Amino acid sequence: MPHLTVEYSANLDGRADIGALCDGLMKAVLSTGLFEVGAVRVRAVRCEDYAIADQLPENAFVDLNFRIGIGRSPEEKKRAGEAIFAAASETLAPLFETPHFALSLEIREIDPDLSWKKNAIHPRLRGR
């Protein structure tokens, strides 16, 4: 159930390769060995409307929200977060050359009693 949502300000169009960011994040998540390939989702949501800090038009953001199922140790979650944040920081490095960019990541654990899923991808990838 690892779902990584990338929210980003629309003013990053032409300044950041969001597709490459998603690919790099997928690789980072899988590189941890903590998640099954058939469960991982990385998706980007472009935010048209936003207000950032002092509201200069060049201010931009990428916010990463990583939702995972329970069952991983604090050390494993920290390792996953560090891998994801490093991948995002590397891909978005040119944006940090200006004083107008913010990157954030939060990991949230899903309560299994309040989460419903149906996945036809798992059986295919598991060879069933």
What CA–CA distance (Å, rounded) separates 24 from 84? 9
Q: Quote the longest CA-to-CA distance of the chain.
A: 54
| Domains of the chain by start residue, with CATH | 1-124 (3.30.429.10)
In the chain the first and final C-alpha atoms are separated, in Å, by: 19
How far is CA 83 from its chain centroid?
Answer: 11
* DSSP one-letter code for 52: -
> For the chain (length 128 residues), average pLDDT per consecutive 10?
95 98 98 94 98 96 97 97 98 97 97 84 78
pTM of the model: 0.90
